Homo-oligomer: A and B are copies of this chain.
Amino acid sequence: MPDNAPLTDLAAELPDGMVVTDPDILAGYRQDRALDPDAGTPLALVRPSTTAQVQTIIRWCASHGIKVVTRGAGTSLSGGSTAVDGALVLSTERMRDLSVDTATRTATVQPGLLNTEVKAAAVAHGLWYPPDPSSFEICSIGGNVATNAGGLCCVKYGVTVDYVLGLEVVLADGRAIRVGGRQIKDSAGLPLTKLFVGSEGVLGIITEITLRLLPAQPPACTVVGVFPSVTEAGRAVLAVTDQIRPAMLEFMDAVAVNAVEDMMTMGLPREAAALLIAQSDAPGPAGAEEVALIQAAFEAHGATECFSTDDPAEGEAFTAARRAAIPAVERLGSLLLEDVGVPLPALPDLIDGVAEIAATQDVTISVIAHAGDGNTHPLIAYDPTDAAQHDRAQAAFGQIMDLAISLGGTITGEHGVGRLKKAWLPDQVGPDVMQVTAAIKAALDPDGLLNPGVLL
């Protein structure tokens, strides 16, 4: 930070109390859910509630060369909203306007709303906003857009980008632009709407989002399979997806099952090597056919128990168990969170390869997965007070990403690259794509003010 940055000038341009420098408050905005011990100390925290205020802040940043980290709910698992020394933290938590337009079946929202609040607003109008990160109760819709977040339903219903029709974005020089709109179809000009979805805050600050909604999801039937073999569970996934497109197809290994059972005591099968949780939301007889097919696939791959229910509460209990896996496994140690994805046929190889890495590095790695779309979350749990174990965990973290790349996959399916995975991005995409990335970044943010250290 330049010593003479007139923070008081910025404060004077904004409502009272919007610029915060109290170290106790700032401390709560240094880290995100990645809990990076190297998180910086911000110059200040600003909590605007309007686009105009965001513009004021960014113009001030631009004129003083101050960098800015945009933060939604701070739930990034890849350090995308970790504070940087001397930079502002711009929190969108007070940007909470929302409207639903049933005629165009869209919601127009500010970025600080939680995903669950957007979902609830849609439900109140008989509609549905599908993307459902496991953290949907605590993550912001702005962060979802910034990372192109996924979730459990994506195997059938796609990811965040599939639902973003329009955006308002404040650029690095403080101008606000609108791209897209409320139409499903819009081929006018470069597809800038889609460019900003997943850009992790490095190209602009998203201040308003127009989301496509669907009619309410039909009631889903849930099938749970208990497997004595992790590899066979992986093959059962392929056996299902080869035939149908389930509405959900989730995987938990034994470590995750037991960690969740320790935390929630809901009667999960502790003896299972792996659990698969599938849903079908096809209506009527078609749904019954899908359920039968899922059960047959599970049984053909050695499921020792196979249970199905059309009771939504019962189904939701299993889904909740799956969603609770990350906090549950976190009780076993500090976590390094992977988000690797592979083309579906490589899923068993990925799962086997992770087990080998765990054995070689002698660290606990629990694998949970949005198995139906090949997106897995190996969770490396380690004792941070054991320096050697910490180093082995870090080595495993890199090796798992290397493995995913070698299988034709991605280092991040839905969490974003953030700061923690930046070193591996060139290995996945190659130098030419990195150069194009840098060129676009330079075109939109020539002074590198926006979310420094992310991606590039």
Contact = CB atoms under 8 A, between A and B. Distances in A.
Interface of A: 101-105, 147-150, 154-155, 158-159, 161-162, 171, 175-179, 181-192, 194-195, 197-199, 202-203, 214-215, 218, 238, 241-242, 244-245, 282-286, 339, 341-345, 370, 373-375, 408-417, 421, 425, 428-430, 432-434, 436-437, 439-444, 455
A93 B74 CA distance: 49
A454 to B, nearest CB: 11
Which of A162, A341, A417: most chain B Cβ within 10 A?
A341
Given A284-B284, A344-B103, A245 B188 contact: no
A85 to B, nearest CB: 25
Nearest to A212: B158
Contact of A189 (B185, B343, B429): B429
Number of copies of this chain in the oligomer?
2
Contacts of A285: 283-284
Contacts of A104: 343-345
23 contacts: A101-B343, A105-B245, A149-B187, A161-B194, A171-B432, A178-B433, A179-B433, A181-B343, A182-B343, A183-B374, A184-B373, A187-B414, A188-B410, A188-B412, A189-B429, A189-B434, A190-B202, A214-B245, A283-B283, A284-B284, A284-B285, A440-B440, A443-B443
A155 to B, nearest CB: 7
A344 B375 CA distance: 36
A191 B194 contact: yes
Most buried by B among A158, A411, A433: A433
B184 A159 contact: yes
Contacts of A103: 238, 242, 343-345
A373 to B, nearest CB: 4
Contacts of A158: 162, 184
Contacts of A440: 190, 195, 440, 443-444
Given A102-B242, A179-B429, A433-B192, A416 B155 contact: no
Given A179-B429, A242-B103, A187 B412 contact: yes
Given A179-B433, A238-B103, A444-B436, A195 B198 contact: no
A137 to B, nearest CB: 21
B195 A190 contact: yes
A184 B154 contact: yes
A185 B377 CA distance: 13
Contacts of A416: 187
A425 B183 contact: no
A345 B181 CA distance: 14
A158, A189, A375, A432: most-surrounded residue (chain B CB, <10 A): A189
A375 to B, nearest CB: 5
Given A286-B284, A343-B104, A188 B428 contact: yes
